[in-house]
Amino acid sequence: MPRGNAALHAPLINEAPPGPRRFAAYRRLSWSLVAVLAAIAVGAAIATHLAMAAHVAGLIRRAAWLLPLLVAWHLGQLFLAALGWRCLLAAPPTGIGGFWRLRIVREGIDSLLPVAQVGGELVGSRLLARRGMTLGGAGASVIVDVSLEVSTQLVFLLSGLACLGLMNGHADGAASMKLVLAVAVGAVGIGLAQAGGGLRALEALSDKIVRRWPALGDVSLLGLHEAARVIYGRHIGVVLSLIWHGLAWLLGTMETFIVLRAMGLGVTPAQAFVIESLGMAARSAGFAIPAALGAQEGGFVLAAAAVGVAAPAALALSLTKRLREIAGGLIGLTLWRLEAARGQVAIAAPLPQTGPG
């Protein structure tokens, strides 16, 4: 072979295979490229979220002037809920104004304090007992009231799903049925637990607490099961309570409709009904989370998407409700403070008796 050709091919023949250092360089280059791509993705996500946040903030500003009206509207909802609570008792120890104040206190504690949305019910029971009932009787009224409220929410949710099916031109299939069954099983389970003696277990537990820690004061719930049985026996009172709670849920639909309209969205009452019913069901499902943080927002976003409302608008709606919730919650905590300052002495009264009807 001529020398020129040998010289031409020598570098290829004598080239050493890539060594460990060259592979390390390739790996560093690969990771650098991955890091750059990741940084670009993160930057794009931040830019997207910032743009979305600006959009959400703009929508909230459009509806901010409604906040006093929304607080008053929600207090109206709580007035209906208070009517539903009071009508359960044959001889209520206070007027509707007293039940309304206690219902606002319950809402404020559940909304603003880290008590997994049950602390308000405990405080409400104690404050009602101060007005002339046994703690067991007051606790039974709150438990039955909450149970009936959950039952009406089930009807509200079913109605929302039915409305969604009609809007889509078909039933919403297996996913809707699974959700309905889950809520139905929960509601039936609550009723069976109460009827099957579950409240007697609470009585026994409270009695042990009193004996073990006397310094806690009178927290005995003796008579809880019997009081609940008497309350459920007042069929007219139970039916009226269901009606009042159902109307309260419907007022929430009007709040959603008004807020979305104020934000400039041309939603229909049917769309608002679906968003409110499904969104509030998601909030209730997150009862173990203080104030259902995140659960409510996710629920409203998904419910709004089902009726063609964009995620920023749904998130703005939820956050506007949060602002109203904070304002109303502060009212509730203030009333709680005033109730505690009154220092009323609890007076034991007979358990609720079955009245006419």
- Assess whether pLDDT exceeds 60 at residue 20: no
Q: Over pLDDT 70: what percentage of the chain? A: 62
Domain spans of the chain? Answer: 69-342
Contact 135, 218 (CB under 8 A): yes
Confidence at residue 7, expressed as pLDDT on a 0 to 100 scale? 40
Residue type, 52: M
Query: Is the pLDDT at 60 greater than 60, yes or no?
Result: yes
Q: Which of 333, 186, 299, 314 is nearest to 259 (CA)?
A: 314
The answer on pLDDT for 149 being more than 80 is: yes
pLDDT band at 161 (very low <50, low <70, confident <90, very high): confident
Tens of pLDDT, residues 67-114: 999 999 999 999 999 999 999 998 888 899 999 999 999 998 888 876
Q: Tell which wins on pLDDT, 284 or 302.
A: 302
- Summarised one tens digit per residue, pLDDT across range 204-249 is 555 555 455 454 445 455 566 677 778 888 889 989 999 999 999 9
Is pLDDT of 4 > 60?
Answer: no
Distance between CA atoms of residues 164 and 160, nearest Å: 6
Q: Which of 117-126, 142-151, 239-248, 319-328 has the lowest mean pLDDT?
A: 117-126
* Helix 198-212 with 135-168: angle, nearest 10 deg: 140
In angstroms, the CA 343 to CA 99 distance is 17
Contact in structure between 63 and 259 (CB atoms under 8 Å): yes
